[in-house]
Amino acid sequence: MKTSELIAVLATADSAPVRPAAPANRIASAALVGATAALAILALWLGFQPLAAAAGASWFWMKAGYSLAAATAGFLLLVRLARPGARIGFAGAAVGCAALFVIWMLAAHASMWASDDHRTALWLGETWRVCAFRILVLAAPIYAGVIIILRRLAPTRLALSGAAAGLLAGGLSAVVYGLYCQENAAPFVAAWYSAGIAGSALIGAALGPRLLRW
Amino acid sequence: MEAELKALMIAAQAGDSAAQTRLLTALAGRLRAFFARRLSGRADEVEDLVQETLLAIHVKRATYDPRFDFTPWAFAIARYKFIDHLRRLGGRVSVALDDAGELLAADNPEEGAVRRDVADLLGRLPARQRALMRDVKLEGYSMEEAAGRAGVSVTAAKVSVHRGMKRLMKEVSDEDL
């Protein structure tokens, strides 16, 4: 087909008006739908009783704050990556680095003053074997939702977009899991929440080029 | 130019069919130049890419945000389509190298392009490695015969051919970046 013919076909057969997409709104809605699904999976899988006890405590907000900051970093990156030609900027990286810095300072502070036995307990808690894995599982529906929306947008850097989607999914998943998780020490969060969130970003980066190609 | 294209794109998003025709026609010329610079002389590939990019620009027109410049958006899509094209080409050329003996034996104008590509790629290797690669992969000599012709041990020849293949694959895929 000649290029001029193609243009004629495109401009006549499919010329319907479109509304400029609002990537931020669409990505945020997809992530929230995914997070709701993750919450439902959590309830069916592990039960819901501890939720009320956890949600009031200050250490719940420490975990939720850190996880939400990671999700925000992924979200800020993704909004830029979803639009061709946009500069990625520093906002996402700045939020991510600040969150890591704060949680590791809290972890170092708690760890430094603890006795040797207590220190091990701070870092490993009682659930270190399952924490990162559970965060990864709960991230899956959020990642899926975000990827579906991204495919309708136009990301041009697929691995990076996949990583940012994984970071957003991992962070939100960790917020959801924090409703169940009874660990209350900053070192535990710095190690195992970070591992779950980073794992989600890595898997997201590996899948990105395959899932997002257009 | 930017202002004009941007105005056309905003009209195109609003459903103005004439604006879409003018926009895509104006872009076709610029895209042709953009791809021709990067794919010296391969006219059919250039035209394929022009069409693919025009299609993508049209289908994804809702992802253009009128608060920002239009040209960076359009050429980010062109660059993406170009990289995607090279990635697919990368896979094809490595297959073509493996089967190059068969391909070069046939006398067929389409395969002239493959022959040129293979010769061009081989030209980037050091002389001895190039001779080994040509003998083993293209001329059909056994590894022992090729090693004898080059005056090296069979093991050294195997290593050299293997490294040569790896290097060619890398060169082909590096062009993506």
pLDDT in tens, B17-26: 999 999 999 9
Question: What pLDDT score does B27 carry?
Answer: 95
Residue A43, pLDDT > 60, answer yes
Chain segment B125-144, per-residue pLDDT in tens: 777 788 887 777 766 677 77
A46/A119 Cα distance (integer angstroms): 28
Inspect the interface and report whether the beta carbons of B28 and A3 lie closer than 8 Å: yes
Which of B21, B51, B76 minimises the CB distance to A84? B76
Instruction: Kindly list the distances between the CA atom of residue B45 and the CA atoms of B17, B23, B50, B108, B174, in Å, as whole numbers in the listed order.
Output: 28, 22, 9, 18, 19
Inspect the interface and report whether the beta carbons of A11 and B65 lie closer than 8 Å: no
Give the DSSP letter of residue B135.
Answer: I
Inspect the interface and report whether the beta carbons of B76 and A20 lie closer than 8 Å: no
A88/A86 Cα distance (integer angstroms): 6
Question: What pLDDT score does A31 carry?
Answer: 97
Residues with Cβ within 8 Å of residue A12, at least 6 apart in sequence: B17
Nearest-10 crossing angle of helices A128-152, A23-46: 150
Question: What pLDDT score does A51 carry?
Answer: 61
Inspect the interface and report whether the beta carbons of A156 and B76 lie closer than 8 Å: yes
B38–chain A nearest CA distance, Å: 18
C-alpha neighbours within 13 Å on the C-beta side of residue A19: 4
A12–chain B nearest CA distance, Å: 6
ipTM over 0.95: no
H-helix segments, chain B: 2-13, 17-38, 43-59, 70-98, 100-105, 109-122, 127-133, 143-150, 154-174
Residue B11 contacts A where some CB pair is shorter than 8 Å? no
Inspect the interface and report whether the beta carbons of B73 and A85 lie closer than 8 Å: yes
Instruction: Kindly list the distances between the CA atom of residue B66 and the CA atoms of A23, B8, B10, B61, B71, in Å, as whole numbers in the listed order.
Output: 13, 11, 7, 11, 11
Chain segment B60-119, per-residue pLDDT in tens: 999 999 999 999 999 999 999 999 988 887 755 443 444 444 444 444 444 445 555 666
Chain segment A76-94, per-residue pLDDT in tens: 999 999 999 888 889 999 9
Inspect the interface and report whether the beta carbons of A15 and B54 lie closer than 8 Å: no
Residue A3 contacts B where some CB pair is shorter than 8 Å? yes
Contacts of B54 in chain A (CB under 8 A): 3, 6-7, 10
Nearest to A124 by CA among A179, A57, A192: A192
Inspect the interface and report whether the beta carbons of A11 and B20 lie closer than 8 Å: yes
A164/A27 Cα distance (integer angstroms): 12
Chain segment A113-169, per-residue pLDDT in tens: 888 889 988 999 888 999 999 999 999 999 999 999 999 999 999 999 999 999 999
Chain segment B2-51, per-residue pLDDT in tens: 899 999 999 999 999 999 999 999 999 999 999 998 887 688 889 999 99
Contacts of A18 in chain B (CB under 8 A): 13, 15, 61-62
A213–chain B nearest CA distance, Å: 9
Query: Which residues in chain B (69-88) have CB-CB distances under 8 A to chain A?
Result: 69, 72-77, 79-80, 84
Question: What pLDDT score does B105 carry?
Answer: 41
Query: Which residues in chain B (145-174) have CB-CB distances under 8 A to chain A?
Result: none
A84–chain B nearest CA distance, Å: 5
**DSSP string spanning A18-40?**
-PPP-HHHHHHHHHHHHHHHHHH
Residue A22: count of CB within 10 angstroms of its CB: 13
**DSSP string spanning chain A?**
--HHHHHHHHHHHT----PPP-HHHHHHHHHHHHHHHHHHHHHHHH-STHHHHHHHSHHHHHHHHHHHHHHHHHHHHHHHHTSTT----SHHHHHHHHHHHHHHHHHHHHHHTS-HHHHHHHHHTTTHHHHHHHHHHHHHHHHHHHHHHHHHS--S-HHHHHHHHHHHHHHHHHHHHHTT-----HHHIIIIIHHHHHHHHHHHHHHHHHHH--
The answer to whether the beta carbons of residues B100 and B114 sit under 8 Å apart is yes
Question: What pLDDT score does A181 carry?
Answer: 87
Closest residue of chain B to A213, computed from CA coordinates:
B84
Nearest to A64 by CA among A51, A77, A49: A51
B54/B48 Cα distance (integer angstroms): 10
Residue B7 contacts A where some CB pair is shorter than 8 Å? no
Which of B13, B20, B63 minimises the CB distance to A10? B20
